[in-house]
Amino acid sequence: MKRKYWILALGAPFWIIVDQYTKYLIRSGFRLSETIPVISGYFNITYVRNTGAAFGFMANADPSFRVPFFLTVPVIALGVILVLIKRLPDSDVKMSTALMLVVSGAIGNLIDRAALGYVVDFLDFHWRYQIHFPSFNVADSVICVGVGLMMLDIINQGAAQAKEK
């Protein structure tokens, strides 16, 4: 089996399991909206149910639109990403890893939406309770890292091509 498929086959289940396990711990150990300070003034664990997308986007949209939308769009995105992985050269470990992370996070959040109707968020960062970043979870984190790796790879490829000219 090609290296890019090994990365996907080993990495995605790992991150999906970590994501689902941490969400299980939050659902089973916290009441909704319960907060435990971890680093006072900066970081809490807070049980939040996010019916929207990242940062609560579309959380207040009509459920007759929102629910099918958030179940359909990730499936389409996963299909597109899997095609990208198939077309990727086997030697491109960085992009394979980046895409695996995005796939892992998308599947983790899709599992929540399909099973619960919302995504469990719990990582709650803020600056002394005045500036508050929206709560997120492991799946969101690996998606962001994956997208960040893709951006760095694209920038590095552009710089290398510019250098060649």
Q: Where are the domains of the chain?
A: 3-157
- 15 — pLDDT class (breaks 50, 70, 90): very high
CA pair distance 114, 101, nearest whole angstrom: 20
Q: What are the structure tokens assigned to 75, written together?
A: 């499936």
Q: What are the structure tokens assigned to 99, written together?
A: 């895409």
**What 8-state DSSP symbol labels residue 92?**
-
* Structure-model confidence comparison of residues 120 and 67, the more confident one: 120
Catalytic residue among 19, 112, 124, 140: 140
- 16 — pLDDT class (breaks 50, 70, 90): very high
Catalytic residue among 19, 112, 121, 124: 121
pLDDT at 55: 65
Contact predicate 92/3, CB 8 Å:
no
In this structure, of 9-23, 60-74, 94-108, the range with the lowest mean pLDDT score is: 60-74
State yes or no: pLDDT of 57 exceeds 80: no
| 10-21 average pLDDT score | 98
Q: What pTM was computed for the model?
A: 0.90
CA 25 to each of CA 64, 95, 103, 105: distance values in angstroms, whole numbers, following the listed order = 30, 31, 22, 18
Q: Is 62 a catalytic residue?
A: no
| 126-146 average pLDDT score | 93
Q: Is 19 a catalytic residue?
A: no
Residue-averaged pLDDT of the chain: 93
